[in-house]
Structure 1
Amino acid sequence: MKKIGFLSFGHWTPSPQSQTRSAGDTLLQSIDLAVAAEQLGADGAYFRVHHFARQLASPFPLLAAVGAKTSRIETGTAVIDMRYENPFYMAEDAGAADLIAGGRLQLGISRGSPEQVIDGWRHFGYTPMEGESDADMGRRHTEVLLDLLRGEGFAQPNPRPMFPNPPGLLRLEPYSEGLRERIWWGAGSNATAVWAAKLGMNLQSSTLKDDESGLPFHVQQADQIRAYREAWKEAGHTREPRVSVSRSIFALVNDLDRAYFGSSGKDSDKVGFIDEKTRAIFGRSYAAEPDVLIEELVKDEAIAAADTLLLTVPNQLGVDYNAHVIESILTHVAPALGWR
């Protein structure tokens, strides 16, 4: 059975047409949508992280709140930009959020995406070392985080501590058992997917990736997943890895759906440049009547190859409509494709 969750970018704007006109609206509605999605039977509530934008940014207060308000649904990110992160502080935050959720945190991380400002990570106090790119710095932060999440002691205790210490070197607290195995890497290329596999991270593949072959997006993404799984096997990891893909999918079941997304039904892949050097391919959106949607989705090789599907939701349309979007997929589409 395929796990199905939602992914919210957490936009807000003061426009009268938006249901999220402030950061507070977005945060509180994100919690409400996670609760609603759990009640509908969805498997995951995931949130994007962008800095210097009117979008969700610091994820751990939100993840902790969602974890406290729900009991079953996975809660996670897709993705946190590791160029901005202090891996020591992050390990503590992640451990706390995971314990609040009872071990349901699925933490998606990556080297990040195009930014709102120039070199935003510099404002957070981080600078690449000599000969290192900002992407290298993000991967270095990641490797430190992964080491910390193993829970091994590394810090020499003070001989005169304020509180009694356990014997030996000290680790960061709170420590959450098993979180290390629930770290996902958002890979934009086949090479970074292979790197993630070698380090024992799960794979998140979004709605865009480097255009490495000129083939349709879903075919390139399926190739990336195969390369990842081959590298995982070669690395000798003993557990089964998880793989998620993200899609914009809308089942048109009423007039409001058709008004919002009826014109998106003929969408196709797009190719462009996300910076001066990187040619990227952007996956199409799906919007159609359920029977047509089923015929289209069965041809998507990457969805077939993944164990988890994240539905990107238009969060500014409000909790009720987004719950309807999720319910429509779970009810009218997923069973016919064998996902439920």
Structure 2
Amino acid sequence: MPPNSEPLRKLGFLTIGLFDEAVPRLGHESTLDIIELGERLGFDSAWVRHRHLQYGVSSPVAVLAAASQRTSRIELGTAVIPLGWENPLRLAEDLATVDILSGGRLNPGVSVGPPMRYDQVKQALYPDTADIEDFSYDRVRRLLDFVRGEPATGFTGQEGFEVFSDRVQPHAQGIGDRMWYGGASLRSARWAGEHGMNFLTSSVVKAEESEDFAEIQLSHIRTFRAHHPDGDHARVSQGLVVIPTDTASPEQRAKYEEYAAKRTPRTATAQGPARMMFARDLVGTSAEIAERLYSHAAFREINEVAFALPFTFDHDDYVQILTDIATKLGPALGWQAAP
């Protein structure tokens, strides 16, 4: 660890949870096994990513409900739930329920915008309201109000044998402080800060002022904190793809390097009309990866990470990667495993 560098305080990981369409249970069980392994290795958090109408976790809240019953300490997060697919009131009920079941360990991460491939799915998703649905930040604001205990209706009390609450039940105390926004733009960073959320920044950002990934990500972090009530203490988690090879077999190393090489060309310039910039996958020994992270301007600004696992690897690969992260890379970054 370089002199004067702040040690990494929280170490997490993110998985997509792929499965075979013919035997979907195996993929889901693998995801749960990986989360259990993460807790045994001392990770602070485990995060799952959604995949709607694909062969990955489509219901992260349900998967994390199961994970909450197989673990006792590790924090459980979503990175992220796209709210264009969700009703904020119903989602607030699900999040609160899982948070209660987990003993207050849920960290919901969300984002806004139209659902991916909206023209193809809108008739199935919103057959009567597709053209008037609001996919703005207001959808997040509604969710925040509900999970923070603001009234959802004007009625409370008893009607016959039924007893009604005017706010979402169960009310999960504290979950409002554990809401995260997954942002890739300066506008999102500012909005998340102004509304007192935590901020997830990943390996994808929008090239608005530069085409240097680290500089862009750093500007998002500083913009977020400049508009957050907690200022420089506002929580930010960085989610780059890291693949340590310390204990990897020669075959695994070759696979990892080939995977990263295929994805590297997209990192050279901004991609598509939205001008998205992708970070390079970090492959190498833990010492090599740590050195590259310490030279990363945005990494030097944060003390929490949720490293993303590659999407298409085998279960044994994830075991090796997570073990190396927890036992070699984490300590090289100044992190200490949870007891």
User: How many Å separate the matches in 2 of 1:262 and 1:204?
Assistant: 26
Aligned to 2:18: 11
Which of the numbers 110, 125, 130 marks the counterpart of 1:127?
130
The letter of the residue matching 1:242 is R
Aligned to 1:246: 239
String of CA shifts for 1:246-301, please: whole Å, max 9, x gaps. 11111122324312213467747333435xx3111111101012332222121112
Cα gap change, 1:297 to 1:265, in 2 (>3 Å) = farther
**RMSD value, Cα:** 2.4
User: How many Å separate the matches in 1 of 2:113 and 2:54?
Assistant: 14
Paired-residue identity, %: 28
CA contact (8 A) 2:11 2:44 kept: yes
> 1:85-96 counterparts in 2 under 5 A?
85-96=86-97
> 1:296-307 counterparts in 2 under 5 A?
296-307=292-303
Query: Given the two structures, how large is their TM-score scaled by the length of structure 2?
Result: 0.86
Cα gap change, 1:305 to 1:178, in 2 (>3 Å) = same
Equivalent residues, number: 321
CA contact (8 A) 1:264 1:287 kept: no
CA contact (8 A) 2:113 2:135 kept: no
Aligned to 2:185: 189
SS of the residue 1:273 aligns to = coil
CA contact (8 A) 2:99 2:172 kept: yes
The letter of the residue matching 1:90 is L
The letter of the residue matching 2:124 is H
CA contact (8 A) 1:83 1:121 kept: no
Cα gap change, 1:80 to 1:50, in 2 (>3 Å) = same
Aligned to 2:110: 109
Aligned to 1:262: 257
Deviation at 1:31, TM superposition (A): 0.9
Answer with 197-206 or 47-56: which moved more. 47-56
SS of the residue 1:97 aligns to = helix
String of CA shifts for 1:160-192, please: whole Å, max 9, x gaps. 243345xxx621211100011111111110111
User: How many Å separate the matches in 2 of 1:153 and 1:81?
Assistant: 23
String of CA shifts for 1:287-332, please: whole Å, max 9, x gaps. 0123322221211122222232112113543433212201112222
> 1:150-299 counterparts in 2 under 5 A?
150-155=148-153, 156-157=155-156, 160-164=159-163, 170-232=166-228, 236-237=229-230, 240-253=233-246, 254=248, 255-263=250-258, 267=264, 269-274=267-272, 277-299=273-295
Cα gap change, 1:173 to 1:239, in 2 (>3 Å) = farther
Cα gap change, 1:172 to 1:290, in 2 (>3 Å) = closer
Deviation at 1:152, TM superposition (A): 3.4
Cα gap change, 1:278 to 1:265, in 2 (>3 Å) = closer
CA contact (8 A) 1:23 1:55 kept: no
Cα gap change, 1:81 to 1:210, in 2 (>3 Å) = same
Unmatched runs of 5 consecutive residues or more in structure 2: 1-7
Query: Given the two structures, how large is their TM-score scaled by the length of structure 1?
Result: 0.86
Cα gap change, 1:329 to 1:112, in 2 (>3 Å) = farther
Which of the numbers 131, 145, 148 marks the counterpart of 1:147?
145
Cα gap change, 1:154 to 1:191, in 2 (>3 Å) = closer
User: How many Å separate the matches in 1 of 2:231 and 2:190?
Assistant: 17
Deviation at 1:98, TM superposition (A): 0.4
The letter of the residue matching 1:145 is L
The letter of the residue matching 1:12 is F
User: How many Å separate the matches in 2 of 1:316 and 1:22?
Assistant: 16
Deviation at 1:140, TM superposition (A): 1.9
Aligned to 1:27: 28
CA contact (8 A) 1:219 1:302 kept: yes
Unmatched runs of 5 consecutive residues or more in structure 1: 15-20
The letter of the residue matching 1:147 is D
String of CA shifts for 1:88-109, please: whole Å, max 9, x gaps. 1101100001011110101010
SS of the residue 2:208 aligns to = coil
User: How many Å separate the matches in 2 of 1:213 and 1:73?
Assistant: 37
